[in-house]
């Protein structure tokens, strides 16, 4: 019986998944056969095989970073090891290795190949995606078997141990360096239809991401109280490091140097932050819904994908060759795609670059409001003079949105329409009037109302909302795999880490201040934060706000979080900074209610028809619409004054063992040399 299972394991690793191509390069090449069926006799055949390696996803994902600190947590933890795991697979690795081995037969030793060889781009693509697959597994499991050749049933890797995370990281770094040497520069790739093709700068930028990830993981996770490496014999993948493996600062240096190379190229005009809607500050919002195929109007400027030079690695979609395949607008419009939690919303700074509340000391007695902050006396106040990444990506209380999901709003059909449809406000009344024009329109705007069992823990999120008229499941904006704004964040973080928490104003201007400029936020400088305390700093360990001395590393992390939210970076960031077990546990609080427009008696429920039973009541009424968990504090001097409890600490028990996923139980039975990760 054991031999049957053992042979099954060999077959799964050696030939499993090889008939499943992962290409999504606009689906232009025949997909009925695997890479190993291609003849590999001409450069064109190598390119065909390389195109098959693109595996960034066939459909648009529509739900982003739910149940995290930035989106709001209902509950978590308690995971246990399962029989299977979708990331424990090696078919993609095999496809890359087939191309590389065929290339060596065709062109000679690959370490001697130069970028001018006719198949260099194809070989560079294979190196890139082999690194891509290994990095996805490094992020998930830590150490995994390194698959650096085409595996057959007699290969020792099939029944061997896992390589350590350090061996895997070293392998990834070397593959990406080679990819960067062989892939063409972006300026050498012609044609809008080839916007998804890998380029040299894409490999450099991805290498910067990998190096920053691994450097911070190695620096911060040893403090979490669990040895995630294990001994490699009974648990974990071990601590073995290959000869010449970089130090932590060496990894930060790679991240700095590679990101700098990409930014230098951007300075020459090859890449640029997309800022076509700078007049309204809505460029960030519109960047993610550029969908102008078949005559669609993506935004009030009437510009589309061809103006976008920000996406360095791009997963291209269009309505003809490769539809998005998901009902994106409906998901966003109905609030299912993502959310901006109360804490995260208050993290976005004012336009002067400083938090909404500050202090001159760590004492709550010294707290004062940022003079640019509009306050809570009106529903609109807290959104005035704020980071446009926040303001642009929520549905403001005085606006409605264009949306392709036309049952909930109007679709944009002209380029010269304003950014928002004209809002209609109901006439003052103590009862619902079905004849009021606002109540007969999809553009009616009503006073916000706190409903029954609410935790008031979020602002919603309209990032990725397609505005142009479009058939269901046909929305097809491109998806950024790597964009210039992320590279800015990588550079600033790496430089600050290398400087022991210090970074020059010049380096800030070279990197993240460009992102802030687009968001209509003042530049981050050393003088700006010197001696200042953030009085809206949420201590996840205590579940309470406090006054926290502002540091440059904290501000760079804030900037990264605000720039990259809902792009599937947050969980990786929490883990590599060693704070996942802190931020994902403990009590959370929602948006302030007491002492705000919600408790002003003049503000009453005035629609829509779905809330007619509460018409004329205060916008917050604890008698008819009690909070789910009550208030964190009703004492005005308490930092949590007027805020509802959003998440009970008892509902969160995310464990340190979850920094790494489990190795599938099935695979451990099939190969007893595989060890389980610590804690599972």
pLDDT of residue 56: 92
pLDDT of residue 22: 63
**For range 255-281, the mean pLDDT:** 98
Tokens 């700074």 appear where? 349
pLDDT of residue 320: 86
54 and 28 Cβ atoms separated by less than 8 Å: no
Residue 269 has pLDDT above 50, yes or no: yes
Q: Per residue in 632-675, pLDDT tens?
A: 999 999 999 999 999 999 999 999 999 999 999 999 999 999 99
680 and 96 Cβ atoms separated by less than 8 Å: no
111 and 185 Cβ atoms separated by less than 8 Å: no
Residue 3 has pLDDT above 60, yes or no: no
pLDDT of residue 294: 85
Q: Where are the alpha helices (DSSP H) in 58-119?
A: 91-107
pLDDT of residue 620: 98
pLDDT of residue 293: 85
Q: Which residues pair with 137 in a beta bridge?
A: none
339 vs 455: CA distance, rounded Å:
13
pLDDT of residue 229: 98
Q: Residue 269: left if φ>0, alpha if ψ -120 to 50, beta else—which one?
A: left
pLDDT of residue 128: 98
133 vs 97: CA distance, rounded Å:
12
Residue 358 has pLDDT above 70, yes or no: yes
Q: HEC string of 341-353? A: CHHHHHHCCECCC
Q: Tell me which H or E stretch contains 395.
A: none
Residue 221 has pLDDT above 50, yes or no: yes
Q: Per residue in 21-36, pLDDT tens?
A: 465 443 444 434 567 7
pLDDT of residue 144: 98
What backbone phi and psi angles, to 5 degrees, belong to 555? -70, -35
pLDDT of residue 470: 87
Q: How confident is the model at residue 372 (pLDDT cuts 50, 70, 90)?
A: very high
Of 679, 680, 678, 673, residue with least CA distance to 157: 673
pLDDT of residue 61: 86
262 vs 200: CA distance, rounded Å:
9
Of 299, 224, 664, residue with least CA distance to 465: 299
Of 315, 99, 17, 93, residue with least CA distance to 195: 315
322 vs 527: CA distance, rounded Å:
49
Q: What is the pTM of this model?
A: 0.96
Residue 381 is given by DSSP the state G
CA dihedral over 592, 534, 67, 649, signed as positive or negative: negative
pLDDT of residue 8: 39
pLDDT of residue 345: 98
- How many Cβ atoms are within 10 Å of 137's Cβ, its own excluded? 26
Q: Tell me which H or E stretch contains 529.
A: helix 526-529
pLDDT of residue 33: 55
Distance (Å) of CA 152 to CA 32, 233, 301, 397, 626: 23, 25, 55, 61, 63
Of 202, 517, 231, residue with least CA distance to 351: 517
In the chain, what is the greatest distance between 2 CA atoms, to the nearest angstrom? 83
Q: Which residues pair with 322 in a beta bridge?
A: 318
**For range 491-514, the mean pLDDT:** 99
38 and 49 Cβ atoms separated by less than 8 Å: yes
Q: Per residue in 129-171, pLDDT tens?
A: 999 999 999 999 999 999 999 999 889 999 999 999 999 999 9
Distance (Å) of CA 131 to CA 257, 268, 370, 400, 498: 19, 28, 46, 44, 25
Residue 68, SS3 per DSSP: coil
pLDDT of residue 6: 36
285 vs 520: CA distance, rounded Å:
13
Residue 470, both tokens: 């479009």
pLDDT of residue 21: 45
Q: Per residue in 33-89, pLDDT tens?
A: 567 778 899 999 999 999 999 999 878 888 999 999 999 999 999 899 999 999 999
Distance (Å) of CA 106 to CA 38, 43, 128: 13, 10, 20
Q: HEC string of 296-340? A: CCCCCCCCCHHHCCCEEEEECCECCCECCCCCHHHHHHCCCCCCC
495 and 256 Cβ atoms separated by less than 8 Å: yes
Q: Tell me which H or E stretch contains 536.
A: strand 533-539
Q: What CA dihedral angle connects 367, 370, 374 and 379, to 10 degrees?
A: -50
For the chain, the straight-line distance linking the first and the last C-alpha, in angstroms and rounded, comes to 26
Q: What is the DSSP string of 469-521?
A: ---TT-----EEEEEHHHHHHHHHHHHHHHTTT---HHHHHHTHHHHHHHTT-
Q: What is the mean pLDDT of the chain?
A: 94
pLDDT of residue 184: 98
Q: Per residue in 471-484, pLDDT tens?
A: 888 999 999 999 99
| Least confidently predicted of 16-20, 70-74, 520-524, 601-605 | 16-20
291 and 478 Cβ atoms separated by less than 8 Å: no
């Amino acid at each position: 019986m054991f031999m049957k299972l053992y042979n099954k394991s060999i077959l799964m690793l050696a030939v499993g998944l090889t008939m499943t191509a992962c290409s999504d390069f606009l689906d232009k090449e025949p997909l009925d056969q695997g890479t190993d069926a291609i003849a590999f006799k001409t450069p064109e055949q190598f390119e065909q095989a390389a195109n098959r390696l693109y595996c960034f996803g066939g459909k648009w994902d529509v739900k982003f970073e739910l149940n995290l600190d930035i989106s709001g947590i209902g509950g978590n933890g308690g995971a246990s090891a399962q029989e299977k795991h979708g990331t424990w697979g090696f078919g993609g690795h095999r496809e890359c290795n087939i191309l590389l081995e065929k290339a060596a037969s065709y062109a000679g030793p690959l370490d001697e190949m130069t970028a001018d060889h006719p198949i260099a781009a194809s070989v560079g693509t294979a190196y890139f995606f082999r690194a891509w697959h290994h990095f996805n597994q490094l992020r998930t499991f830590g150490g995994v078997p390194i698959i650096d050749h085409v595996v057959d049933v007699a290969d020792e890797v099939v029944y061997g141990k896992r390589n350590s995370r350090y061996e895997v990281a070293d392998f990834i770094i070397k593959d990406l360096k080679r990819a960067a040497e062989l892939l063409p520069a972006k300026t050498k790739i012609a044609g809008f239809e080839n916007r998804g093709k890998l380029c040299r700068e894409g490999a450099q930028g991805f290498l910067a991401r990998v190096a920053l990830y691994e450097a911070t993981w190695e620096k911060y996770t040893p403090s979490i109280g669990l040895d995630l490496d294990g001994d490699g014999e009974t648990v974990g993948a071990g601590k073995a490091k290959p000869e010449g493996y970089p130090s932590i600062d060496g990894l930060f240096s790679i991240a700095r140097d590679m990101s700098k190379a990409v930014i230098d190229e951007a300075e020459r005009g090859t890449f640029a932050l997309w800022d076509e809607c700078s007049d309204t500050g809505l460029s960030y919002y519109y960047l993610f819904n550029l969908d102008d195929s078949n005559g669609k109007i993506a935004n009030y400027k009437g510009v589309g994908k061809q103006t976008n030079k920000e996406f360095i690695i791009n997963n291209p979609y269009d309505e003809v060759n490769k539809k998005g395949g998901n009902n994106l607008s409906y998901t966003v419009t109905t609030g299912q795609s993502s959310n901006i939690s109360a804490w995260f919303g208050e993290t976005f700074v004012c336009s002067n670059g400083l938090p909404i509340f500050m202090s001159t000391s760590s004492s709550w007695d010294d707290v004062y409001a940022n003079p640019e902050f509009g306050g809570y006396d009106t529903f609109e106040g807290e959104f005035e003079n704020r980071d446009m990444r926040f303001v642009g990506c929520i549905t403001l209380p005085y606006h409605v949105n264009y949306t392709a999901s036309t049952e909930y709003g109007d679709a944009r059909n002209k380029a010269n329409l304003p950014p928002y449809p004209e809002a209609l406000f109901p006439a003052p009344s103590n009862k619902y009037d079905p004849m009021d024009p606002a109540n007969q329109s999809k553009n009616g705007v009503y006073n916000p109302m706190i409903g029954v069992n609410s935790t008031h823990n979020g602002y919603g999120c309209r990032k990725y909302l397609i505005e142009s008229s479009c058939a269901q499941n046909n929305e097809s904006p491109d998806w950024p795999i790597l964009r210039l704004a992320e590279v800015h964040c990588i550079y600033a973080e790496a430089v600050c880490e290398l400087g022991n928490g210090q970074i020059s104003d010049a380096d800030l201007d070279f990197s993240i201040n460009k992102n802030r400029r687009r968001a209509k936020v003042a530049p981050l400088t050393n003088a700006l934060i010197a001696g200042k305390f953030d009085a809206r700093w949420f201590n996840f360990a205590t579940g309470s706000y406090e006054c926290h001395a502002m540091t440059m590393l904290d501000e760079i992390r804030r900037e990264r979080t605000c720039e990259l939210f809902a792009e599937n970076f947050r969980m990786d960031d929490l883990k590599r900074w060693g704070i996942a077990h802190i931020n994902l546990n403990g009590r959370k609080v929602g948006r302030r209610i007491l002492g705000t427009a919600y408790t002003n008696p003049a503000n009453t429920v005035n629609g829509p028809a779905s809330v007619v039973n509460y018409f004329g009541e205060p916008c917050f009424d604890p008698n008819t619409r009690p909070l789910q968990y009550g208030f964190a504090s009703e004492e005005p001097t308490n930092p949590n004054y007027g805020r509802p409890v959003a998440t009970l600490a008892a509902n969160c028990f995310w464990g340190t063992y979850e920094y790494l996923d489990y190795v599938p139980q099935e695979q451990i039975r099939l190969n007893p040399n595989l060890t389980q990760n610590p804690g599972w």
